[in-house]
Structure 1
């Protein structure tokens, strides 16, 4: 019985088991962190489209093409761009398609806004004659 030696299985494999367990304990939280959704983009979208960030005054009729109409007591109507379009586009330049004394039908181009070579036509929310245009918007929007 001289040649018999007893080897404990835990003495030889214990370090390997500890390394594997430690690796799994580090990989699992890292994997959860990597697969979590990005929260920054969601917060930005919520802030831009939040109800409190938009100005929606009373007495104004909104059109589906991001324009509004305010009927004055004299019978004239003021037309403008809604706050959502202005928040989404940022600073833009404006060019009037229909000048003073022109007749515009509802849905026809009234103005064109542009930024960095991209343009968007603004359609008229009402039909009627253009009496005045806000000329200072062309130079200082």
Structure 2
């Protein structure tokens, strides 16, 4: 009888320990998947998934099995603008052309005009963006897609796009250009905003344009976005 009680006690202890360990594992999984923005961004924090084509206009394209192409903007602009509050989209049936404006992203009335990575006819809008623009900030490559198009010059135009690995390399120069733009801005009439766009050590803050005047957004459009060749 004593032996049976002892065995039962051991089994009970093992069971309690197993439950405790299981709870620790579950807690660990939650902590592992939890994500918080670091407060700064660089070419190393920009998400660039494999399997997509990327353009110098900071947009992406992906061809589905049915030949339709889904397009959107990459992870770069959401870090520059901060949380988007509105967008301007084209309608289904309209034609878009590579390197022409196909979307405007807006924050509190200040906007940037984004150019298309490829040409085609819009077959569908992502209507979810009309009521939840922040999907572009949170999920630019999935729920934040912009249009589904029927491509009209796909074979030729993808020759000018990047695969993920090459796009990451190209991004290094983009961050040099971005810092150059900010340096010029601060030397002219925006020195009071230096603490807004740069952290201690010169790292770029999230949403660097977020609190800057509309004139700065216009300069960014003219001297950064529109100068890409």
On whether the aligned pair clears a TM of 0.5, the verdict is yes
Partner of 2:67: 75
- 2-structure distance, mates of 1:104, 1:81: 15
In 2: Cα distance, 1:94 partner to 1:79 partner: 15
> How do 1:73-112 and structure 2 match up within 5 A?
73-92=65-84, 93-96=86-89, 98-112=90-104
Give the gaps of 5 or more residues in structure 1.
Answer: 1-42
CA displacement 1:44-88 (0-9 Å, x = unmatched): 6xx41141x221111111111111111112111111110111112
SS at match of 1:131: strand
State the structure with bigger RCO (CA 8 A, min sep 6), 1 or 2. Answer: 2
Q: Structure 2: how far apart are the matches of 1:133 and 1:72?
A: 16
1:119 equivalenced with 2:111 (yes/no):
yes
Matched, 1:59 2:47: no
- The Cα of 1:95 is off from its aligned counterpart by 1.4
Give how far 1:117 is off.
Answer: 2.1
Per-residue CA deviations over 1:100-124 (Å, capped at 9, x if unaligned) read 0111111121111111221111111
Aligned CA RMSD, in angstroms, stands at 1.7
Name the structure 2 match of 1:49: 42
Output the CA distance in 1 between the equivalents of 2:109 and 2:120.
30
**Greater C-alpha Rg:** 1
2:130 matches 1:138: yes
- 1:21-48 per-position Cα deviation (integer Å, ceiling 9, x unaligned): xxxxxxxxxxxxxxxxxxxxxx96xx41
Residue of structure 1 equivalent to 2:197 = none
1:122-141 Cα offsets, whole Å, 9 max, x none, are 11110110000011101111
Gaps (5+ residues) in structure 2? 1-37, 134-229
